[in-house]
Amino acid sequence: MSRALAIHGAGGRMGRAIAEVVARGGQGQEGQEPEEGATLVVTGAIEREGSPLVGQDFGVVTAARESGVAITASLSDGLAGADVAIDFTGPASTRRFVAACADLGVPAVVGTTGLDAETLAALDAAAAKVPVVFAPNMSVGVNVLFHLAAQAAALMGPEFDAEIVEMHHRHKVDAPSGTAQRLAEVVAEAKGLDLARDAVHGRSGQVGVRRDAEIGVMTLRGGDVVGEHTLYLAGAGERVELTHRATDRAIFARGAVRAARWAIGRDAGRYDMGDVLGLGG
């Protein structure tokens, strides 16, 4: 059964990656089996006002073949008839997107990172009317990392110091990454810490001895690194490292498409990839 998908940020790197995954029927790479669930068909492609892509055929822009779907700057036009919509843009655009989805009754999948309190509140407001899946990282592996990190941090206790290091390509504009921030939240919750108080973003100079109640979050930027995240749990005489390395942006697109399929027909509410994957608490 085919379901209609709208993509907000259709001309961006993630929009194009999602289009490729959808074109493969859910496959990320040649030879992979498609995932179970409804077949998605792109029926709406939305870009920012003033984008040179507006008016162009989405299929030509993303895959050099006509699709009959014209890229639009209108949220209402792009979302018309959609069974679900995916957003990878920026905080201000995401706020407008989720509000439009709520008004039109369209389930929303949000992969935009660097969201501020205003945007998170907008997600909650939309979730009162439609299902909203939000995750700072849509990859299956990263969400398993969150699950394992929570277990490890709780089991190893306060005797093990938690430090997080993330690295991304030189063009990433927000720091730390949304994934690193979420990883820190998971660890803080497992350790019973207050992240707003206990997070340390970088160290320089005579900072003194490390406090027990600290979670270090360090950011690296350079080259074309898709994404790397490592949680260090360091104790006396031993250290555990949990690492996820992304080598292909398609993993995020596959996760977003999986979340979109899952969201169709769900009750209104705020969900994350843990819900999509059935990871539980």
155 and 32, same domain (yes or no): no
pLDDT bucket at 142, cuts 50 / 70 / 90: very high
CATH number of the CATH domain containing 174: 3.30.360.10
What domain range is 208 assigned to? Answer: 140-246
pLDDT bucket at 249, cuts 50 / 70 / 90: confident
Q: What pLDDT score was predicted for residue 17?
A: 93
Average pLDDT over the chain reads 93
118 and 187, same domain (yes or no): no
81 and 160, same domain (yes or no): no
102 and 35, same domain (yes or no): yes
Tell me which residue has tokens 């398993």: 144
Tell me which residue has tokens 């074109």: 23
Residue range 256-277: average pLDDT?
A: 96
12 and 28, same domain (yes or no): yes
pLDDT bucket at 176, cuts 50 / 70 / 90: very high
Which residue intervals of 128-249 are DSSP H helices?
140-156, 178-191, 195-198
Active site residues: 168, 172
259 and 151, same domain (yes or no): no
182 and 164, same domain (yes or no): yes
Task: Collect all residues with Cβ–Cβ distance below 8 Å to 166 and sequence separation of at least 6.
Answer: 176, 177, 179, 180, 217, 218, 219, 220, 227, 228, 229, 230
Q: What pLDDT score was predicted for residue 29?
A: 45
Q: What pLDDT score was predicted for residue 41?
A: 95
Q: Which tens digit of pLDDT belongs to each residue from 98-108?
A: 999 999 999 99
Spatial CA neighbour of 168 closest among 234, 224, 211: 224
* Largest separation between any pair of C-alpha atoms in the chain: 62
192 and 53, same domain (yes or no): no
Is residue 168 within 8 A of residue 224, CB to CB? The reply is no
109 and 151, same domain (yes or no): no
161 and 234, same domain (yes or no): yes
Task: Collect all residues with Cβ–Cβ distance below 8 Å to 100 and sequence separation of at least 6.
Answer: 75, 76, 79, 106
Q: Which tens digit of pLDDT belongs to each residue from 28-79?
A: 444 444 455 679 999 999 999 999 999 999 999 988 688 999 999 999 999 9
Spatial CA neighbour of 250 closest among 89, 18, 95: 18
Q: Number of structural domains, the chain?
A: 2
What is the pTM assigned to this prediction?
0.82
197 and 261, same domain (yes or no): no
Tell me which residue has tokens 């206790």: 157
Q: What pLDDT score was predicted for residue 64?
A: 67
